[in-house]
């Protein structure tokens, strides 16, 4: 059985972490398969939004498979350590920025690399049984990806609470700090995430792409700089079919049928 399952239906891609017997921890095979799936989503013109979820009832992901990391550090000693550890990088977390929306449907344990993955998504919906933790320091590993994304998304003090204490936090804490967008009853995270994905898939993908890029760039560019880039894209958008369809649908009092052109 593949460790990552990718499917597209009605413009919604689903990426399932499928290693439930290992609580969906990432080994080198799963990293490779996940990165391939995310690149496939980025390039798939039929997929406008992605939902990432996980198999089994115990965990979204309990992090990195420590046995795999140990093997990477103790084998191929003629290869630099950073190259060996590059096998353990999520595409969504590094230079893999995606202008399409990505939703995480979280249940059970969302720990370490699992939480890094969730923080790399745009929206996060969690079931009431979700547990969040960044325990890397307990095994002598620094927290990098989650520290960066967490600072931007929930603030330094909240992400440092997870990093410095290494303790577990529940879904209510995650919602209160802004780590997740919504808490739903146990077993309902994927269902609710799919509802949100359906709403997003009914919108203009070009407008969504420009808007998401503006949100990202707002962290390190001025408003004037962002507007200069966005205005050029917006002019192209105004000449496209989606805007014409939206205006026509408005006067015909119906929902627009966007095509992404």
Asked if 108 and 233 sit in the same domain, the reply is no
Asked if 103 and 10 sit in the same domain, the reply is yes
Percent of the chain with pLDDT over 90: 59
Asked if 162 and 81 sit in the same domain, the reply is yes
How much is the mean pLDDT over the chain? Answer: 87
Q: Which domain holds residue 33?
A: 4-201
How far is residue 129's CA from residue 245's CA, in Å, rounded to a whole number? Answer: 43
Nearest to 151 by CA among 143, 159, 161: 159
Contact 53, 190 (CB under 8 A): yes
pLDDT score for 218: 78
Q: Is the confidence at residue 87, as pLDDT, over 70? A: no
Nearest to 125 by CA among 199, 63, 65: 199
Tokens representing 252? Answer: 């015909």
Rounded to an integer, the average pLDDT of 214-232 is 70
Region of poorest pLDDT, from 14-28, 74-88, 101-115: 74-88
Asked if 193 and 210 sit in the same domain, the reply is no
Task: Give the β-pairing of 131-133 and 109-111.
Answer: parallel
What pLDDT, in 10s, does the model give residues 44-63? 999 999 999 999 999 999 99
Residues 6+ apart with CB under 8 A from 60: 17, 24, 53, 54, 104, 105, 106, 107, 108, 109, 110, 114, 118, 130
pLDDT score for 13: 98
Q: Kindly report the CATH number assigned to the domain that includes residue 185.
A: 3.90.226.10
Asked if 197 and 213 sit in the same domain, the reply is no
Asked if 72 and 11 sit in the same domain, the reply is yes
Asked if 178 and 55 sit in the same domain, the reply is yes
Asked if 127 and 53 sit in the same domain, the reply is yes
pLDDT score for 72: 65
Region of poorest pLDDT, from 50-54, 83-87, 152-156, 203-207: 83-87
What pLDDT, in 10s, does the model give residues 123-160? 999 999 999 999 999 988 889 889 989 999 999 999 99
pLDDT score for 11: 97
DSSP assigned state of 161 = H
Rounded to an integer, the average pLDDT of 236-244 is 67
pLDDT score for 113: 93
Asked if 167 and 213 sit in the same domain, the reply is no
Tally of structural domains, the chain? 2
Asked if 130 and 234 sit in the same domain, the reply is no
Rounded to an integer, the average pLDDT of 100-111 is 97
Tokens representing 106? Answer: 């979280």
Rounded to an integer, the average pLDDT of 163-175 is 98
Nearest to 194 by CA among 202, 58, 85, 235: 202
Residues 6+ apart with CB under 8 A from 201: 10, 11, 12, 48, 49
Asked if 165 and 143 sit in the same domain, the reply is yes
């Amino acid at each position: 059985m593949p460790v990552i399952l990718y499917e597209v239906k009605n413009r919604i891609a689903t990426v399932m972490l499928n290693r439930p017997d290992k609580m969906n921890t990432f080994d080198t095979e799963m990293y490779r398969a996940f990165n391939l799936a995310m690149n496939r989503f980025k390039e798939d013109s039929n997929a406008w939004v992605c939902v990432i979820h996980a198999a089994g009832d115990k965990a979204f992901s309990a992090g990195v498979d420590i046995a795999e990391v140990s093997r990477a550090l103790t084998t191929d000693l003629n290869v630099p350590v950073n190259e060996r550890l590059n096998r353990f990088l999520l595409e969504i977390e590094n230079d893999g920025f995606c202008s399409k929306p990505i939703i995480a449907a979280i249940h059970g344990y969302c720990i370490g690399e699992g939480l890094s993955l969730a923080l790399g998504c745009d929206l996060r919906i969690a079931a009431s049984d979700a547990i969040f933790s960044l325990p890397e320091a307990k095994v002598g590993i620094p927290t990098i990806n989650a520290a960066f994304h967490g600072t931007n998304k929930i603030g330094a003090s909240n992400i440092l609470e997870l990093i410095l204490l290494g303790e577990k936090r529940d879904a209510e804490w995650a919602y209160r700090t802004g780590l997740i967008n919504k808490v739903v009853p146990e077993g309902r995270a994927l269902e609710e995430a799919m509802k949100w994905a359906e709403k997003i898939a009914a919108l203009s993908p070009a407008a969504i792409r420009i808007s998401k890029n503006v949100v990202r760039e707002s962290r390190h560019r001025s408003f004037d700089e962002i507007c200069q880039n966005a205005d050029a894209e917006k002019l192209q958008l105004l000449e496209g079919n989606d805007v014409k369809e939206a205006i026509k649908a408005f006067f015909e009092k119906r929902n627009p049928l966007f095509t992404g052109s």
